[in-house]
Amino acid sequence: MENKRSVSKPDGKLAVLIPGLGAVSTTLMAGVELARQGKGHPIGSLTQMGTARLGKRTDGRTVKLNELVPLAELQDIAFGAWDIIREDAYEVAVRSGVLSDKHLEEVKPFLQGIKPKQGVHDPEFVRRIEANHIKSTKTHRESIEALRQDIRDFKKELNATRAVMVVCSSVETFRPLPESFKTLAAFEKALDENSPDINPTALYTYAAIKEGVPFANATPNASVDTPALQELAKKEAVAVAGRDLKSGQTMMKTVIAPALKARMLGLDGWFSTNILGNRDGEVLDDPAAFKAKEVTKSSVLDTILQPELYPELYKKYAHKVSIHYYPPRGDAKEGWDNIDITGWLGYPMQIKVNFLCRDSILAAPLVLDIALFLDLAKRLEWRGIQEWMSFYFKSPMAQPGLPVEHDLFIQLTKLKNTLRVVAGEDPITHLGLDYYGDDLPLSK
């Protein structure tokens, strides 16, 4: 393939700016620093450990993804954050209880140096946290201008040439999409009127896009998944991705559901429950906040199973999702799935999954990859929805009118093929007929 995409080199520092200095973001920060010191491995990160085959299977060409395309190196990443709690990254990491004392001591000075700027807060959207570190702004427009100034200040303070933003803040209460989010003009009017419909995450989104900073939403909160902010991203030529990280139980759904459909096995019901004890779990204990998470966790099955095409197999299945706050568990989330399936002649069977995972350990490498791929998109001068990054999200975005793809393996193929094309290599289809010559003739 001859048409290699022109992409500028990742020269200088990359500022990774994160609204929400919590367990996920501090685990990411500590892990990056430990990897830089040679004291930890970035397991779970495609950008650091993933590879891509190039050409035919017989060519023997396999390269690391960060050699296939020019990605920023770990040594060049600097972190900035906002939060509504007055704690530095070390204090948050200790409170979160994700990492061992040994790991925390090795990065203590580094984490203590990451102090959040005051966050934008609306207690109607986050009810379970007593905020003590919030901006004194009175209107949405004032908050946006303060956030834009923070972005400029972060770049100076971190000596960064470029910046990306990945939201990792607490889950906000769910509300049906207001009319003000359906067009950019309506959204601008709502900002001017200081509408209560505008959530804090949307203000960070608007500020980032207006500053030309690529943006991703790792939460279920209303953000770039809305028509108004997608319109703004295209207008300002900014790359955006989201929504809600696909890290644990939903990742398993996007693995198991494609297997059921591939084998044409029926589904009668899928019951999913979680117990979680960190701050995310406490916030999700609010039913209005859980509703936002439920929407993204529940959306994947219909898209994968396509009940409209296979009504005999998938038209009437039951799907239940619940999350329970259980403080003793901390960040060690446990997910239980009971899957009732149907086989030959309608005989019932079951699959049971007990996923004993670590929430932030799974999520941190995803945030790293998202940040580095957003930076690549910026240097490629790509704008708007980055569907090729769907691999990372429970509720990924696609161009209006396009069905969203949730199958994890199709998403991974899409991601790697995108990088191949950027590098001027042929995408891989796995067809393989050319290996067999006259044994498998396509025509006679």
Instruction: Give the lowest-confidence range in 101-115, 305-319, 405-419, 426-440.
Output: 426-440
Q: Quote the mean pLDDT of the chain.
A: 94
**CA 56 → CA 2, 60, 434, 439, distances in Å?**
16, 8, 10, 18
Contact criterion met (CB below 8 Å) for 50 and 65: yes
**Region 243-248 average pLDDT:** 92
Give the pLDDT band (50/70/90) at residue 127. confident
In this structure, are strands 239-242 and 318-325 parallel, antiparallel, or unpaired? unpaired
Instruction: Decide if 84 contacts 97 (C-beta within 8 A).
Output: no
The DSSP H or E segment spanning 117 is strand 117-118
Contact 241, 224 (CB under 8 A): yes
Which of the residue ranges 10-24, 110-124, 280-294, 307-321 would you say has the lowest mean pLDDT? Answer: 280-294
- Can you tell me the distance from the alpha carbon of 158 to that of 163, in angstroms, rounded to the nearest whole number? 10
* Integer Cα distance of 276 and 332 in angstroms: 7
pLDDT in tens, 149-160: 999 999 999 999
Strand partners, 385: 240
Instruction: Provide the percentage of residues in the chain whose pLDDT is more than 90.
Output: 84
- In percent, how much of the chain has pLDDT > 70? 96
CB 276 within 8 A of CB 427: no
- Contact status, residue 238 vs residue 212, Cβ threshold 8 Å: yes
* DSSP class of 179: G
Q: Is the pTM of this model over 0.85?
A: yes
* CB 35 within 8 Å of CB 41: yes
Structure tokens belonging to residue 67:
């050699």
Residue 76: pLDDT band (50, 70, 90) is very high
Give the pLDDT score at 299.
75
Which tens digit of pLDDT belongs to each residue from 18-64?
999 999 999 999 999 999 999 999 999 999 999 999 999 999 999 99
Domains defined for the chain, CATH in brackets: 13-245+360-423 (3.40.50.720), 248-356 (3.30.360.10)
